[in-house]
Each structure stands twice: as structure tokens, then as C-alpha cells.
Chains A and B, each alone.
Chain A
């Protein structure tokens, strides 16, 4: 069988790196957005300050909430961080021990989504229930498409293990893309705003009840719990971006075990994430939030693209 190329230490390093970098990505997106709107904007480190503030505060909880409610933020954060462990960051190649594949990653993200919705319902607030209902309406439109995009690349590689998929992509660039990759990437570009909770599907900046999906579910959380939920959504965002870059962009060489290889891998990853983050910021600045009933139509573009990509691979 395949010999492992990524050791446990490296995996732990990658996971920690992702979690620590997550808020920075959010900060960068907000900074780019502010610049596009001719504002100075908060510094890119603002999300870290927000998190630090939240973790210092006490917790207030709704009377109707059950004991599960206090556990929800921790569980959501754990599921998301575990998903982060599956993303190859600095180096391609399968891990040296059985860990899990892209399907497990999508499953963990779905679990985090489900737990968030359960927490929102548990608190008994009207906004939470509405946010949960909307999120659960859109989830079945997003997750199958993500799965199909993963499959359309997995069919060619013969594996769903992300490290192996990334290794198969090698260091080649767009020139070596198969026709199906273009459509798969197009589907991903449509899905990214939905999966990261951004305009045109969701609006992360507002607490206006008409527009919010994800924010609505966080309303009842406070203090460290809210901090966990926010950190989880930062992590979820960078994990999604990492998934895209592992599937479609080249990654550091599998044999560069020394510090230089590691540094190169980190730099390349940062560059890829920056490109995708700028894309998200541009989309957020140039489109309006879609009406909720228009969202399925928007996501339908991604669905058809992903299905066509699969058709190109298989038929």
C-alpha cells in the first residue's frame, strides 16, 4: 500500500496552523471589502481581538435552554477543527496512518452545521429557529454539490483521500487541468459564498432578521460560547478554502521534508488562500444579497456545473 508521507506531528502542525490562521482570513476579507468601499476599515487582526474579548466575558443563557446548549459551541468547534486535520496544507501525500478522507471532512462540516442548528433551536429564540430553518433548507443544496465536485476529481485519481488527491494534482497548474476541472472549479466558485456564509447567499455583517442565516443561529450564544462559535466559523471558512486549494491548485512537493520545504508549503498555501479570499471579498462587494427564494436558483448553477463535470469524467 501507499507509504505515508505526512507524519502525525506535521498533521497536528497543519491543524493548529489552520485554526490560528482562520480569523486572519476573515480579517483580510473585511479589510479588502473596506478598501473597496473606500473605507479605512478595522485592522486585519480585529477578529483576534474580538475573540480575546469574548473569551474573557461571562456567559448568559436563556432560561429555556437545556444542558446541551452549553456543550454546543465546544462540539461545533471540535467537529470543525477535526475537519481541519484532514486538509493537506503544506505538503501533499496521504498521512502515515489511517485518518479519513474528503467524505469524512464533508461529514464533519455537516455535523457542525447540524449541531449549530440544534443549538439555535434549543435556545428557543424566534430568530434562532428561523436561522436554523433557513440554514437547513440551503444545506441540502450545498452539500451534495460539494460532494459531486470532490467526486469529479476523485474519479480521476481513484481515491477520496485529500492528500493523495492533492499529490495527484502535483505541481502542475491550470494548463494541465482536465476539462472537468474547469467546470468543477466553476461549481466551487459558486458554492464558496454559500459555504462560507457570505453575500450573495448570506450576509455576515448584519443582524437584520430578513437577511441572516448563520448569524441568526448565533444570537443566543454569549461570552466564551459565542467565541467558540465564531472561531468555528472562521475555521470552517479556511477549511473550505483549503479544500478548494487542495482539489484544484498545486501544493508543495511531497518530498520536501526540511524546513525550506515546509516554509515553501506555508507560503504557497498563504498565497492560494489570499487569492480565494480576495475572490470572496470582490464578490461580496459587487453583488447584493439574493432573496432567499432566489438562492436555490443561484446554487443550481453550481449543481449543473458539478454534474456536468462528473459527466465529462465518467461518460
Chain B
């Protein structure tokens, strides 16, 4: 594959990643957010595979495989199970209205494009729109975490944010050392597992609603 083709494909995948992110932000039900985040991880795995074929970097194949199994299948399944086990209300109740969240999302996207354009020489070295898209994904993940009321939403946000970091790292460095990537993935697995257990345990007292955690008990 020529460098130009790779650039186009990464750009296209970036657009689709942004689309899944918008779906996560606008999801009215937690299940839809989980499916969208799984689709996002699948796109990340495809991006890794594309970069692996382009650069001949075998580490990237390993990363694509790990992303596919862990982030596309296992973690969404865990989240799905938690939702089913908890028997909570499935509607997402954001802190601010979804329309406001979407407006904020537009501002974040435009800002990240603006910021990465002002980076100049750094931006020159990077393929296409990967950097602004990656920054936007990361920040939008944080937005999901900030606007979600339940711990589940924040897990989804963390997950999406991590996808953004992963995408940026991959596109910018054409593959980081394998050990770092595996470390990052392990962190996310641990975080999600710990949070899943926490949510299931904590539920008995506070119903896993973050809004209920605003008072100190002494």
C-alpha cells in the first residue's frame, strides 16, 4: 500500500470513529452506548491492522488482535453483563441535556482541529487528520464521563477516551513499543473489571448513581 492510500484509509477510519463517538454521546440507552463503543474498538483494531500491513510492524498485528478480542468482545460483554445483573434503569440520564452535550461536542471537535493546526511542524509529520481526530475522541470521552450520572456511563467514557489515546498514539508513532501498548490495555482491563465489581457491590447502598455521592459521611 502506498503512503497516500494508508493516509486516506486512516482519515476515513477517523471519521467513522468520530461518528461512533457522536452515537455514544447521543445514546439514550446504555446498551446502545456499549454497542457503539464496541464498534469503535473494532474500527481501532482495523486501523491497527492497516498500519501493520503498511509498515510491516509485527507488533501492530499483535495489538490489533488484542484490541479485537479484549476491547471489541470481552469488555463490552462484561459491561453488558453488569447492566443485566444490576437491573438498573436503562435510560441514560445525563447531568445536562443531550442537546447541550452535542453542542459541547461540536465545540470540542472544532477546537481540536484548531489546536492541532496551530501545532505546525508536529502536525506536518503526522498523517492526515489523525491527530485532531484523536484529540477530539479523547476529549469527547472525558465529556461522556463528565456528563454521565451513573458509574456505567463513566466506564463507557473511560473506554472511549482510551480508544482516542490509542488511535492518536498509533497514527502518530506508527506503532509504539509493544510493551507500552500492552501496559495501556491491561490498565483499561483492570479499571473496567474493578469498576464493574465496585458497581455491583456499591449498588446495594447508593444504586450506582454518582449524583448520590455528593455528601460526606463521617
Are B19 and A186 in touch, CB under 8 angstroms? yes
Q: How far is B23's CA from A213's CA once the two chains are assembled, in angstroms?
A: 26
Within 8 A of A (CB), among B67-104: 98-99, 102
Within 8 A of B (CB), among A266-315: 294, 296-298, 300-301, 303-305, 307-309, 311-312, 315
Interface string of B114-139 (1 = CB under 8 A from A): 10010000000000110010000000
Kindly report which residue of chain B lies nearest to residue A314, judged by CB atoms.
B113
Are B99 and A182 in touch, CB under 8 angstroms? no
Q: How far is B25's CA from A297's CA once the two chains are assembled, in angstroms?
A: 11
Number of interface residues of B (CB under 8 A): 26
B28 in the interface, Cβ–Cβ < 8 Å? Answer: yes
Which among B15, B22, B110 is the interface contact of A180 at CB below 8 angstroms? B15
Nearest-neighbour CB distance to chain B for A138, whole angstroms, equals: 14
Number of interface residues of A (CB under 8 A): 22
10 contacts between A and B (CB under 8 A): A179-B11, A183-B15, A297-B98, A300-B26, A300-B102, A301-B23, A304-B22, A308-B22, A308-B106, A308-B109
A17 in the interface, Cβ–Cβ < 8 Å? Answer: no
Are A297 and B26 in touch, CB under 8 angstroms? yes
Are A297 and B28 in touch, CB under 8 angstroms? yes
A57 in the interface, Cβ–Cβ < 8 Å? Answer: no
A177 in the interface, Cβ–Cβ < 8 Å? Answer: yes
Are B114 and A315 in touch, CB under 8 angstroms? yes
Residues A315 and B19 in contact in the complex (CB < 8 Å), given A178-B11, A297-B99, A301-B102:
no
List chain B residues, Cβ under 8 A from A296.
Answer: 99
List chain B residues, Cβ under 8 A from A312.
Answer: 15, 113, 129
Kindly report which residue of chain A lies nearest to residue B110, judged by CB atoms.
A311
B145 in the interface, Cβ–Cβ < 8 Å? Answer: no
Residues A304 and B12 in contact in the complex (CB < 8 Å), given A297-B28, A312-B129, A315-B114:
no
